[in-house]
Structure 1
Amino acid sequence: MKKMNLIYKSTRSNNETVTASEAILKGLADDGGLFVPTSIPKLEKSMEKLANMSYAEVAYEVMRLFLTDFTEEELKSCIDKAYDSKFDTEEIAPIVKANGAYYLELFHGATIAFKDMALSILPHLLTTSAKKNNVKNEIVILTATSGDTGKAALAGFADVEGTKIIVFYPKHGVSPIQEKQMVTQKGDNTYVIGITGNFDDAQTGVKNMFNDKELAKTMNDKGYQFSSANSINIGRLVPQVVYYVYAYSRLYKNGEIAKGEKINAVVPTGNFGNILAAYYAKLMGVPYDKLICASNDNKVLYDFFETGVYDRNREFILTSSPSMDILISSNLERLIYKIADNSAEMNSNLMNGLKTEGNYKITDNMRGQLDSFLGGYADEAKTKQTIRDIYEQTGYVIDTHTAVAASVYHDYVASTKDETKSIIASTASPYKFTRSVMNAIDEKYDSMTDFELVDELSKLSNTEVPQAIEEIRSAKVLHDTVCETEKMKDSVEKILGI
């Protein structure tokens, strides 16, 4: 019996329905909404079966349920090209038990951050989608980054035929290693531009270009069309669901949890995609209980879960966990749409309030549907202390974003006495944020250069320096363009010659 195709709709209107491949190609819906599946499919394989599968096999079992218009051959080809020797471990996403929790290490890919988990496969999903839909235009990937998406997308799309990739990043809002990774990116189709604003400015500029109908027409006349590598693209979100299914199956396989035992997930969160993926895994039938949303000083999500009010009207704070320095969490819209009983009208009104007033308030009925979620936050001092404590107690070194989650986790356990086993999403290698990590362990490291710190961290943690770091030690800067926020569109037009 042929499976029914899963259809995708926009969160902002009931008019537009598309297939999975069309949603991946478009990135953003025509009305500015995000594509969501009309229902979340249930896992079809038992946990016993999943426990004995490789990462690639679990990926296929999860993704085939969401990407129903891909053939088995197409999807397996995309998966095989993605989860290969680019990752420095066969497990792809290993779990380390430390300090009373299970750390799901999502940083073993080419750019040592969790974005690799999805951005290793997105270029293949996108080019396959283009073929399926007879697209003749060159696809221009337009992306804003708070530090990690940019490099992971650049690495994924570099020299992929039929594509160009343009990445905007906040010039003074990423770590030195993150910036060096991006500005040394090779590939004739890659473009990296620093902007004088912050990540929210970059993200807003990108969204405005996606919604610019006149620009779309001009581009089409010249043989181009936009797509996105940000987590607004459903082709980013679906691969992230995989590792939450995989993590549970590994804990079960290794005898850490009993059949059907509930576990919590703690996720350091900026744009909300990573924790939304955990929620989708839960809706698919994986026994996750609490989903704990960990924020840094930019605690807009913590306040939202506490009050039901989302308010971006506040100071934007640059922290040592820059990938979470975000005040407009784009992926939250997918959750808002769901708890509004899939009402595009209600969601649209709330998103309009965010755009015009900078805030919105959800109803009591909507708040009642958020019982899976809890918020917590860690300021800079707590983040630092957590890195030091975990290193001193266990010898395990974590990055700043993971430390935000670990701090929130320990606060949660202390205040609730909830002893449920918990997965902490470890979203980046400590090598990506060496200065912040080493300073947290001991301030004596402050006088060292970035690459001296890298070598010191290797000794301290008894781990090898990742290839991603080795290759930028002496790499040449290939991208040095910086523009004002309001000139982002001009920069794109110049690159494309339109």
Structure 2
Amino acid sequence: MTTFHSTRSSTDALTSKQAIRKGIADDGGLFVTDQLGETTVDISALAGKSYQQIAFDVLSVLLPDFGEDELKQCIAEAYGSQWSDERITPVKRLGDDYVMELFNGPTCAFKDVALQILPRFMARTTPADGDADEKIMIVTATSGDTGKAALAGFADAAGTGITVFYPQGRVSRVQELQMTTQTGSNVHVCAVNGNFDDAQSTVKEIFGDQELAERLAADDHVVLSSANSINVGRLVPQVVYYFSAYAQLLEQQVINVGDEVDFVVPTGNFGDVLAGYYAKMLGLPVRQLVVASDKNNVLFDFLTTGTYNRNRPFYETISPSMDILISSNLERMLYYMAEKDPRLITYLMNDLAQYGAYEVPPQLLAQIRQLFATGWADEDQVRQMIAECWRDNHYVIDPHTACGYFVMRQMPADPGTPRVLLSTASPYKFPRVVNEALGLKADGTDFECMDELAAATGTEVPAMLRGLESADVRFRDCVEVSDMAHYVEQCANRL
């Protein structure tokens, strides 16, 4: 039987449903299963399957305690008419390479892939202690995209509430409006005076606050859970699109069954690329996973030196969703690469908490580097890539995808191994930056910039983004980092 436990101890034995409901382990670790990779997905049967069928094949391996009917219902509800492309994550040619669009969901960002299905998973979990009145409060920190995708997924979901914190002034105007105009009786949105790392670290502390947990349970019948990729239910749906990309390359006769593929992944929190590692563990022929960073290149430094050091300047860049110095999901990869040694992970994470840095043993770094390559782009390079990608391919990319495009262009190409760039967000979420890069008018409102971009490129503004101009702002709260726990408690009182 597949069970889940913390990366920092192997004493827990939770089902996938229990792990999803709980979100994060009591010791601050992330839930993992030691059975990962024991059962694989048959890649010879991928070609010709729909996204929904591939999702069933992959998720039934990763979440085995969900029944067949339950899983199929979750998948049908999550990947239906709310997507603007029936392939969900279509793979398109980009010069000699390929791009996989992850932004055709309801909030125009890759987070939709997981956050359309996580509330469906959550609805099928049950309270640990049999409290029939128990409600779940989702508490999430966002660097820009998770917040809206989580709000859209959980809005008015029965038995749940959601509180989203975002760093004040450090997300794009479109991203902020997407969150602050969210409808739903169970949603709460609040800015934080600090950066994303401050917000995320405090959310983790809130999950570990035993006194708060006891008060919420006693007074409000509320338990806390997460929609960040620290939640295994947020992570595993992202594994599906790697298999979908492979299926599409098979159908396009780019590869034969068993051929290897490289994936280039813009990432800050390491969740998006970790899903590719899980896919490889499940039998997908992945040759290399390329981690692309922006100027906050903490992952680049780690993957090249073996030292993870968050004690560095924090840069606010034009790719705000990647402005992160503490990449939470790295912990899961380290656990598996370190031969499932929770003591080593505890030691490393204690060093990170105490000193702001840790160093992995040389043999572990050598093993990591066999699979993970890395690179990063500064802001001038990001702008240059947006311009060059349009000039060379007539394809518009957002600044996060541009980080990946830059890194991909720096890599020596292997004619026998296709490269797939993951495109994480619609360029219309960052219209001002994109317009500046393309030499278009960028001095009006974000909505005027959207219209300018559409007219100049012949692409279409997603209706859900264009409609934000006239949407009512519902949330204007802003708190200090030290007041976040109190804010969560107030929101729980209203559930």
Decide which of 461, 467, 475 is 1:465's aligned counterpart. 461
- Give the AA of the match of 2:223: Q
What TM-score, normalized by structure 1, do the two folds share? 0.96
Question: 1:98 offset after TM fit, Å?
Answer: 1.2
Q: Per-residue CA shift, 1:192-211, capped at 9, x if unaligned?
A: 00001000000011000000
Q: Residues 386-444 of structure 1, C-alpha deviation per residue, up to 9 Å, x if partnerless?
A: 0001111221100000000000000112xx767621010000000111111111111x5
1:75 aligns with 2:71: yes
| 2:103 corresponds to | 107
Mapped to 2, the partners of 1:133 and 1:173 lie a distance apart of: 40
CA deviations on 1:39-95 (whole Å, 9 max, x unpaired) are 223665533422121101100000000111111011111111100011011111111
State the match for 1:404 in structure 2: 403
Identity %: 46
Aligned partners of 2:40 and 2:282 also within 8 Å: no
Q: What is the rounded CA distance, in whole Å, between the counterparts of 2:223 and 2:329 in structure 1?
A: 23
Q: 1:132: Cα distance to partner?
A: 9.1
Task: Tell me how far 1:258 sits from its aligned partner.
Answer: 2.1
Taking a change above 3 Å as real, the CA distance of residues 49 and 339 of structure 1, as seen in their structure-2 partners, is closer
2:254 paired residue number: 256
Tell me the alpha carbon deviations over residues 146-194 of structure 1, each in whole angstroms, 9 at most, x when there is no partner: 0000000000000001000000000111000000100000001000000
**After superposition, where does 1:170-189 map in structure 2 within 5 Å?**
170-189=167-186
SS of structure 2 residue aligned to 1:439? helix
Instruction: Kindly indicate whether the alpha-carbon contact (under 8 Å) linking 1:41 and 1:66 is maintained by their aligned counterparts in 2.
Output: no
Paired residues, number: 491
CA 1:366–1:356 in structure 2 vs 1: closer, same or farther (change >3 Å)? same
1:47 paired with 2:66, answer: no
- Measured after TM superposition, the shift of residue 467 of structure 1 is 2.3
Residue in 2 that maps onto 1:230: 228
Residue 90 (structure 1) aligned with residue 86 (structure 2): yes
Aligned to 1:64: 60
* 1:140 lines up with 2:137 in the alignment: yes
Q: Does 1:38 align with 2:41?
A: no
- The answer to whether the Cα contact below 8 Å between 1:41 and 1:65 also exists between their aligned partners in 2 is no
Q: 2:449 aligned with 1:450, yes or no?
A: no
Aligned ranges 1:13-32 → 2 under 5 Å: 13-32=9-28
- 1:98-123 Cα deviation digits (max 9, x unpaired): 13211000000000000000000000
Distance in 1 (CA, whole Å) between partners of 2:169 and 2:346 is 33
The aligned counterpart of 1:394 is: 393
Distance 1:338 1:387, change over 3 A: same
**Counterpart position of 1:130:** 126
**2:481 corresponds to 1:485:** yes
Cα gap change, 1:284/1:298 in structure 2, threshold over 3 Å: closer, same or farther? same
Q: Cα 1:132–1:422, aligned 2, differ >3 Å: closer, same or farther?
A: farther
Aligned position for 2:157: 160
CA positional deviation for 1:341: 1.4
- CA 1:482–1:131 in 2, change beyond 3 Å: closer, same or farther? same
Letter in 2 for 1:378: A
Letter in 2 for 1:324: M
Deviations, residues 444-496 of structure 1 (Å, cap 9, x unaligned): 51222211111122222322211221331200100000011111111112222
Q: Distance in 1 between matches of 2:79 and 2:491?
A: 31
Paired residues of 2:192 and 2:481 also in contact (CA < 8 A): yes
Partner of residue 291 from structure 1, selected from 279, 289, 292? 289
Residue-by-residue CA offset, 1:324-382 (whole Å, 9 max, x unaligned): 00000000000111122111111001001001100000001211221100110000000
1:285 deviates by 1.0
**What one-letter code is carried by the residue in structure 1 that aligns with 2:83?**
F
Out of 411, 425, 435, which is 1:428 matched to? Answer: 425
> 1:357 matched to which residue of 2?
355
The aligned amino acid for 2:90 is P
Matched residue of 1:290: which SS?
A: strand
Segments of 5+ residues of structure 1 without an aligned counterpart are none
- How far residue 306 of structure 1 moved from its aligned partner, in angstroms, is 0.5
Q: Which amino acid in the other structure matches residue 302 of structure 2?
A: F
Opposite residue 430 of structure 2, the aligned amino acid is F
Mapped partners of 1:475, 1:314: distance in 2: 39
- C-alpha distance in 2, partners of 1:333/1:286? 22
C-alpha separation between the residues in 2 aligned to 1:133 and 1:248?
42
What TM-score does the superposition give when structure 2 sets the normalisation length?
Answer: 0.97
Q: Is the 8 A contact 2:41 2:283 kept in 1?
A: no
- C-alpha distance in 2, partners of 1:368/1:403? 28
Could you tell me how far apart the structure 2 residues matched to 1:418 and 1:232 are?
Answer: 36
Contact 2:108–2:425 at 8 Å: present in 1 too? yes
Equivalent AA in structure 2 for residue 52 of structure 1: G
Q: Tell which deviates more after alignment, 274-283 or 5-14.
A: 5-14
Separation in structure 2 between the aligned mates of residue 42 and residue 406 of structure 1, nearest angstrom: 34
In 2, the alpha carbon distance for the partners of 1:436 and 1:99 equals 23
Contact 1:42–1:285 (8 Å) recurs in 2: no
Q: Which residue of 2 aligns with 1:203?
A: 200
